[in-house]
Amino acid sequence: MWDRPRSGRIALAATAALALAAPVGCSEGSGPATAPADRTASPPTAGADATTRTGPTPPGPTSPGPMPPGPGPAGSGQAGAAQAEAEAGATAAVPVLVGAGDIATCESTADNRTAALVAAQPGTVFTLGDNAYPDGTAADFRRCYGPGWGRFRARTRPAVGNHEYHVAGARPYFDYFGAAAGPRGRGYYSFNVGSWHVVVLNTNCGEVSCRSGSAQQRWLRTDLAASGARCTVALAHHPLFTSVARHPPATATRPLVRTLRAAGVEVLLAGHNHTYERFAPQDADGRSDPVRGIRAFVVGTGGAPLHTFGRRAANSQVRNDRTYGVLRLTLAPGAYRWQFLGVPGSRFTDSGSGACH
């Protein structure tokens, strides 16, 4: 199933400075790093688009510069590889986040296909939890995650999912990713990519509390207040907004999402449901808020068997439950562009851009 936006083209909140930003769109056309500095732990490997900071992130300029063009349709063979390499080089000057959730299972090769998409992209790789099926054991990471997405471990910043907690304390997850996963046992941390701030949340609320006043919520409020960045993106596993009945909205995460919105966070990425879905900007209670709302994405399309949609949730604009792929975020000062990159042979795409609050 894939659905177009209900109202066709969507008016963007981006300013006139985004002269090169494309309007939001989805279609059935084919679509086709290194790690930044952690505020709480040392990164695995620093890259050209990463900046090590010991204090708050300086805000981006008031007016965003022009956005670079997004990558075109994925090619095949040597010509496709050459095209991907050229595109990666052309956009390397602007920081990129690329990734998905719900990734590696030894029962499927879909994760190898999405890994090929990641390999063609520059920048920092993110995961949205449930990285290694079925149980997040050391063997699952070694045998299932390692051959595909494990190639990008040196430039990956992960989020922890519920399958990682099939082992007490998600120990193999923290062992595998090391300092890149933040303080051991906590599962929430933050880092900077270019002028953007990134917060990674632990939405396994039965393991690490998400309640208002919890250690995680207090940390999040303090971290966002101290960052100084104009633009922020949040990564998590469980989605508060989703159209999948199998895993309904993770309402226990609402206090964290309220904290994100209060701080003016632009984008929230989650996985858990093995689908792609994009929502219009909204508040933590699901009310449309085109001015200060968070644009939420579910990107559980990294390789695990896909789920199917139920009734469309409020503010859902684009959704697809048939296509494996990854989300690429291009993070310019004061603005961002998103593009869903489907595996070769798929027809669904979704792309657009927005300005920071």
Q: Which pLDDT score is estimated for 55?
A: 34
- pLDDT bucket at 15, cuts 50 / 70 / 90: very low
Q: Which pLDDT score is estimated for 92?
A: 52
The answer to whether residue 267 scores a pLDDT higher than 70 is yes
Measured on CA atoms in the order 209, 214, 215, 217, is the torsion positive or negative?
positive
Q: Average pLDDT, stretch 212-237?
A: 98
Q: Where are the domains of the chain?
A: 2-62+73-355
Q: 2-62+73-355 in CATH: which number? A: 3.60.21.10
What predicted TM-score, i.e. pTM, was given to this entire model?
A: 0.79
Secondary structure class of 95 (helix, strand, coil): coil
Give the DSSP letter of residue 33: -
The answer to whether residue 138 scores a pLDDT higher than 60 is yes
d(CA 96, CA 352) in angstroms, rounded, equals 15
Q: Average pLDDT, stretch 80-97?
A: 56
Residue 44 CB neighbours (<10 A)? 18
d(CA 144, CA 133) in angstroms, rounded, equals 7
Q: What is the mean pLDDT of the chain?
A: 83
At 273-318, the pLDDT tens digits run 999 999 999 999 999 999 999 999 999 999 999 999 999 999 999 9
The beta-strand segments (E) located in 28-178 are 37-38, 96-100, 124-127, 156-157
- pLDDT bucket at 245, cuts 50 / 70 / 90: confident
**Span of 85-94, 111-120, 176-185 with lowest mean pLDDT:** 85-94
Percent pLDDT > 70 in the chain is 74
Strands 316-320 and 335-342: unpaired
